[in-house]
Amino acid sequence: MISWAIARAFANIALVKYWGKREGAENLPATASISLAIDALKTVCKIERLDSGQDEIFINGAMAVGATSVRISKYLDFWRAAKLIDGHFLVTSENNFPTGAGLASSASGFAALAVALAAFSERKIAVKELSRLARVGSGSSARSITGGLSALPIGKNPSAKLMLDAESVPFGMVVMTVESAPKKIPSGQGMEMSRNSSPYYNTWLKQAQADYEAMTQAIRTMDFAKIGEIAESNALVMHTCMIAGRPPLLYWSGKTIEIIKAVWKWRSEGLQVYFTVDAGPNVILIARREDLNEVSRVAESMPGIQRIILGLPAGGSEILMRE
Ligand code: 2P0
């Protein structure tokens, strides 16, 4: 029996977004998604067995409180109910990037947690099952288990599949953060708002499926321009869907729009760069590996940006140490 384990996971940024859940629990996505894991967005999670009858959870050095604490405790309860683990744990999770600000912190957070918990299981848990288990914590974290370019299909109990390993992906990302405060409406709640009230929700589901199929094909032929075009327009359709909800959900700030317009200008001037935006105001640029330094340079020339983070494709989640 081990007493502690440390796991590492990378966050992922979706090129075709998961936005919307099917009825029921366990984060069954209403849209199939495709993402790239990013080496610069990392969570390291340590789990230690406790003798007490209660879990203790620390995130980025502070004790988890409120909804975050409840969500993680419930997730540990789910593992206990499935008889994969028993007892209680001290969970210490550290992100090297802003938490809860639309940079997929829940993806790497739950993936690292799932991998660390699996180290305590008597039963060997295969990657496919681990991806399903991570998905129950947070839908997007299923894709951080496999890393690289990964696809999460829809279906009865889907798990992510690796489409292309990190080393073979010829492009990376530049994250432009404009705000680092946690968002007021978490993704799960935002998805429900869209499902319940956006007149474009069904249109979004249909378009997302078409984008998923087109993106799969563009990755197969590695047509970078096509990948970028689909990613941009998929993000815009997702945001249109949420903005049109009643009440509306607008994650963007003024800077978000300024960056989008700048990307279109840079592209018209010959730089092959595309963008995507997750459930937050930050913008993520997509560029070929050989263009990433130039893209970072032009991104840095924009005033009012908080941070520029250059990210290369990263692998899946893994145990770093255990004892
Ligand atoms: C994605 N997002 O595909 C999309 C794009 C945000 C916008 O997955 O409720 O935190 O935990 O399953 O995984 C964010 O949603 O949501 C997300 P839950 P999650 O990356």
* Per-residue pLDDT at 172: 98
Which three-class secondary structure state does DSSP give residue 54?
coil
| CATH match of 171-311 with 3.30.70.890 | yes
* Per-residue pLDDT at 187: 93
Alpha helix ranges (H) inside 66-185: 66-81, 105-118, 127-137, 141-146
Which position has the higher pLDDT, 97 or 254? 254
> 139 C-alpha vs ligand 1 centroid, how far in Å?
6
Residue in 281, 270, 71 with CA at minimum distance from that of residue 175: 281
- Provide the pLDDT confidence category of residue 98 given band limits of 50, 70 and 90: low
Looking at every residue in the chain, the average pLDDT score rounds to 95
* Per-residue pLDDT at 96: 87
**188 Cβ closer than 6 Å to some ligand 1 atom:** yes
How long is the chain? Answer: 323
* Per-residue pLDDT at 183: 79
* Per-residue pLDDT at 97: 78
Enumerate the domain spans of the chain: 4-166, 171-311
- Provide the pLDDT confidence category of residue 55 given band limits of 50, 70 and 90: very high
Q: What percent of the chain has pLDDT over 70?
A: 98
- Distances in Å between the Cα of 96 and the Cα atoms of 39, 59, 105, 320 are 11, 11, 10, 16
- Asked whether residue 104 carries a pLDDT value surpassing 90, the answer given is no
DSSP label of 178: S
- Provide the pLDDT confidence category of residue 202 given band limits of 50, 70 and 90: very high
- Distances in Å between the Cα of 138 and the Cα atoms of 11, 16, 291 are 12, 17, 32
Q: What digits encode the pLDDT tens for the residues 63-94?
A: 999 988 999 999 999 999 999 999 999 999 99
Which position has the higher pLDDT, 284 or 96? 284
Structure tokens at 110: 């739950």
Q: Which of 13, 18, 70, 146 has the most ligand 1 atoms within 8 A of CB, as the residue to mutate?
A: 18
> 83 C-alpha vs ligand 1 centroid, how far in Å?
27
* Per-residue pLDDT at 280: 92
Average pLDDT over residues 240-267: 97
Q: How many helices (H) and strands (E) does the chain have?
A: 9, 12
Which of 38-52, 97-111, 270-284 has the lowest average pLDDT? 97-111
- Asked whether residue 33 carries a pLDDT value surpassing 70, the answer given is yes
- The distance between the two most distant Cα atoms of the chain, rounded to a whole number of Å, is 62
> 15 C-alpha vs ligand 1 centroid, how far in Å?
12
CATH of region 4-166: 3.30.230.10
**14 Cβ closer than 6 Å to some ligand 1 atom:** yes
- Asked whether residue 60 carries a pLDDT value surpassing 90, the answer given is yes
Angle ∠(147,277,255) on CA atoms, nearest 5:
140
Residue in 104, 237, 225 with CA at minimum distance from that of residue 175: 104
Which of 138-152, 169-183, 234-248 has the lowest average pLDDT? 169-183
**33 Cβ closer than 6 Å to some ligand 1 atom:** yes
pTM above 0.95, yes or no: yes
- Asked whether residue 167 carries a pLDDT value surpassing 80, the answer given is yes
- Provide the pLDDT confidence category of residue 318 given band limits of 50, 70 and 90: very high
Bridge partners of 58, per DSSP, are 63, 92
* Per-residue pLDDT at 181: 75
* Per-residue pLDDT at 261: 98
- Asked whether residue 100 carries a pLDDT value surpassing 60, the answer given is no
DSSP string over 225-259:
HHHHHHHHHHHHHHHHHHHTSSS------HHHHHH
Same topology for domains 4-166 and 171-311, yes or no? no
* Per-residue pLDDT at 101: 55
Query: How far from the centroid of its chain's Cα atoms is residue 71's Cα?
Result: 17
**55 Cβ closer than 6 Å to some ligand 1 atom:** no
Q: Which of 278, 282, 283, 284 has the most ligand 1 atoms within 8 A of CB, as the residue to mutate?
A: 278
Structure tokens at 260: 């989008």
Of ligand 1's atoms, which has the minimum distance to the CA of residue 27?
12
* Per-residue pLDDT at 180: 74
